[in-house]
Amino acid sequence: MALYRELPTHVFENTAAIGLKSRSAVENDFVSSFLQRHLPANRLRKGEDKDLKYKTQNLDKVKKKKPEVINKKRRKGLTSRERKKLKLFDIKKEHQSYEKYIPMHKIWKDYIQDVLNIKSVNKDNIHAAQERLLKADFHGSCLTIQRSKCPSYVGVSGIVLQETRNTFKIITQEDQVKCIPKTNSVFVFEIGGYVFTLHGNQFCVRSAERCTRKFKLKGTIEI
């Protein structure tokens, strides 16, 4: 059955003069142009408008998507990736001088002596002091690499500027900032007449997580 009523004969006879398209052409294009208008873009891309035999399409109740409102209020600061991109972790060239960090080291010294209670440390309670040391903060400590799998790290010494999960960022006395991986190295530092040794392999934890973490009593110290 035809979709529309036939045109009146006088119009029909003069179709060419008026410039009307032939009926069959309009009928064929109708569906495809309708689909072009209403199908979602991704389905159009798949070419679904060509072959509708096996596909269903709701013609009424088509919802239009609301434009997404980005919830900016959820996060206050920048993500860590963004911070890295902005080079917030990098220390500027003019700030890379050992002397600038000596006060920080002094503060750290006071802090660690406080934490360890260094004056009352003796043979019996040295173990407890070691436990406390594990949970202490190392920003500002002066570390020396005593042994390492990579020989060129051996002997590097300086103030810790930053600690990440796997590295220490150290400024040496020659004003060089060096990033030293904790794995496969053994660090040494000295406070109040005691020399403490840190085994880097066992120390690969973020400083914030370290204070709640339980350490194994006897790990292998081989590197």
CB of 153 to other proteins, least distance (A): 8
* 147 is a contact residue toward other proteins (CB under 8 A): yes
* 221 is a contact residue toward other proteins (CB under 8 A): no
CB of 148 to other proteins, least distance (A): 6
- The DSSP output letter for 127 is H
Please identify which residue in 105, 139, 149, 178 interacts with other proteins, judged by CB under 8 A: 149
CB of 168 to other proteins, least distance (A): 18
Radius of gyration of the chain (CA): 37
Please identify which residue in 40, 103, 155, 192 interacts with other proteins, judged by CB under 8 A: 155
Please identify which residue in 71, 152, 212, 220 interacts with other proteins, judged by CB under 8 A: 152
- The DSSP output letter for 135 is T
Nearer CB in complex with other proteins: 96/157: 157
Q: To 10 degrees, what angle do helices 126-134 and 98-116 make?
A: 130
Nearer CB in complex with other proteins: 77/151: 151
* 223 is a contact residue toward other proteins (CB under 8 A): yes
The dihedral built from the CA positions of residue 209, 210, 212 and 213, taken in this order, carries a sign that is: positive
* 195 is a contact residue toward other proteins (CB under 8 A): no
- Residue 168, burial from CB neighbour count under 10 angstroms (0-12, 13-18, 19+): buried
Q: What is the DSSP string of 158-173?
A: EEEEEE-SSEEEEEET
Distance CA 114, CA 109 (A): 8
CB of 185 to other proteins, least distance (A): 9
Residues 120-139 that bind other proteins (CB under 8 A): none
